[in-house]
Structure 1
Amino acid sequence: MLAFANAKINLGLNVTGKRPDGYHNLETVFYPAKIYDTIEITDAETTFCEIRGIAIPGDSKDNLCLQAYHLLNKDFDLPPQQITLLKNIPVGAGLGGGSADAAFLIKLINTKFQLGLSVNQMQDYARVLGADCAFFIENTPVYAVDRGDQFSPVAIDLSAYFMVLVKPPVHVSTADAFGGLKPALPEVNVKELMGLSPDKWKDVLKNDFEETIFLKYPEIAQLKTGLYHAGATFALMSGSGSSVFAIFDTAVTLPELEKANRVFYNI
């Protein structure tokens, strides 16, 4: 049984405070992006995860897909499965690829073994695995708050635009992202800004991680500038980086950016 797990981008991201549990509160809009990993589960003698495509740092035994399987296995005594993951979503890019894989695996298992889990139940399992993991269960645009795992609907549709994402050869660590960050409440929350058209976002829709990340990795800042020079209506780093997405009114090609970066068109 196959599933195609898509990435996400963040339409704005404000880090609003530090939590007692060590995490941060934030507010953002998660929006699905058309960049996909492929996940397959098949019956096997033992449960394991085979990863192909882009290499994932760390031990494959710690992969979020395996963690999702074991989380459900505690409650449902599942048959052993071979999990085959064809990785295409860039890693360390602020695109939620690992979370997407885990969430789609939960949905695959729910369907294959007829567990009867509701959306809310699957989201609760996903929240254990990562702050943005639960988003991918319904996989529709949401306004996310708290750790990024509490959702409310948001009316935003960018299908009329041509969207591009650029992933530079840079991996941004969590320490890099949060180092020097000063949480603060925004003057206007992200959900309200979704009422504006994208051509009005440039000066008001922010990503709080950009300031510190751009200082440490100026090549990411240069990418954003380059996308505006290419005619983008709006450009922003996604999540804690390092990818930058851009919204164009019409289709474009960016051969100069393709020389040193992975460029995804019409996401």
Structure 2
Amino acid sequence: MVYFPNAKINIGLFITEKRADGFHNIESCFYPIGWSDVLEILPSDKLSFKSTGIDIPGEPSGNLCLKAYELLKKDFDIPPVSVHLHKVVPIGAGMGGGSSDGAFTIKTLNYLFELGLSLEVMENYARKLGSDCAFFIQNRPQFCFGKGDEFSEIDVNLTGEYIVLINPNIHISTIEAYSGIKPKASASDLKETLKLPIQEWKNLVHNDFEQNLFPRFPILGTIKESLYESGASFASMTGSGSTIYGIFEKEVDLRNMFDNYAVWQGFL
């Protein structure tokens, strides 16, 4: 079976407090986008994992696809599988690409072996893989809080809007992103703010990581400003970086402007 694990963007990201377990509580709107990897999982005589496309650092045993398989293997007598991941979504780019791969593996195995797992049960498995993995089980716009693995409904529909995502080939680790962050209560109610027209988001919707990361990586701020100069209604860094996105009212083509970077553009 072949699936296309897609990435997401954060529309607003407030880091509200440091938790006793060392993680941080956040508030954000997670929104799925079309930039996707390619995941093939087939029954096999032995468990195997192969990756192509963007090079994935670390040992294959640490990949979330295999970790997802092992999670389900503990509770269900599922046979070995052959996993082929073609990596397209940049790594360490704030779009949850690896988390999506893990979550889609859970969904694929559930379907392939007719496990009958509910969305809630699959989300609980996904939470064991990483903070934002559970989002990709339902894979629809949601208000995310806690570690990014708790959800509630949010009234945001960007269907028909055009998005351009720019990744300047900078890998930002989670540790580096959180270095120097001072958590604070969000200054506004994100759910209510996102009910406003997109053109009003610019001065109201923020990603708290930008304040620390833009001085360290000036190109990020330059890209954001370039998107606004090109007509974006709203532009922001997503997650803990380093991808910057712009949302436009109509289709644009900015690939030539950022031809040295990884670019994805398309309708939401």
Alpha-carbon separation, structure 2, partners of 1:130 and 1:187 = 27
Q: Secondary structure at the match of 2:52?
A: strand
Deviation (angstroms), 1:157: 1.0
1:14 aligns with 2:14: yes
Deviation (angstroms), 1:131: 0.6
Q: What are the equivalent positions in structure 2 for 1:192-211 lying under 5 Å apart? A: 192-211=192-211
1:136 aligns with 2:143: no
Alpha-carbon separation, structure 2, partners of 1:218 and 1:5 = 30
1:232 aligns with 2:227: no
* Structure-2-length-normalised TM-score: 0.97
Assess, with a 3 A threshold, how the Cα gap between structure 1 residues 121 and 45 changes in structure 2: closer, same or farther.
same
C-alpha contact 2:55 2:87 (8 A) present in aligned 1: yes
Output one character per residue of 1:16-36: Cα deviation in whole Å (capped at 9) or x when no partner: 000000000000000001111
Deviation (angstroms), 1:51: 0.5
Q: CA RMSD in A?
A: 1.0
Q: Secondary structure at the match of 1:257?
A: coil
1:106 aligns with 2:137: no
C-alpha contact 1:14 1:207 (8 A) present in aligned 2: yes
Q: What are the equivalent positions in structure 2 for 1:183-262 lying under 5 Å apart? A: 183-262=183-262
Matched residues, percent identical? 45
Alpha-carbon separation, structure 2, partners of 1:174 and 1:67 = 20
Q: Which residue of 2 aligns with 1:32?
A: 32
Structure 1 runs (4+) greater than 4 angstroms displaced: none
Deviation (angstroms), 1:2: 1.4
C-alpha contact 2:155 2:191 (8 A) present in aligned 1: no
Q: Secondary structure at the match of 2:122?
A: helix
Alpha-carbon separation, structure 1, partners of 2:166 and 2:255 = 12
Deviation (angstroms), 1:91: 0.8
C-alpha contact 1:257 1:263 (8 A) present in aligned 2: no
Amino acid in the other structure paired with 1:70: E
Mean Cα displacement is larger for which, 256-265 or 214-223? 256-265
* Structure-1-length-normalised TM-score: 0.98
Q: Which residue of 1 aligns with 2:171?
A: 171
Alpha-carbon separation, structure 2, partners of 1:119 and 1:7 = 19
Alpha-carbon separation, structure 2, partners of 1:101 and 1:19 = 27
Alpha-carbon separation, structure 1, partners of 2:257 and 2:76 = 48
Q: Which residue of 1 aligns with 2:42?
A: 42
Amino acid in the other structure paired with 2:112: K
Amino acid in the other structure paired with 2:189: N
Mean Cα displacement is larger for which, 166-175 or 127-136? 166-175
Q: What are the equivalent positions in structure 2 for 1:44-83 lying under 5 Å apart? A: 44-83=44-83
Alpha-carbon separation, structure 2, partners of 1:196 and 1:38 = 35
Which runs of 5 or more residues in structure 1 are unaligned? none
Amino acid in the other structure paired with 2:93: A
Deviation (angstroms), 1:48: 1.9
Q: Which residue of 2 aligns with 1:121?
A: 121
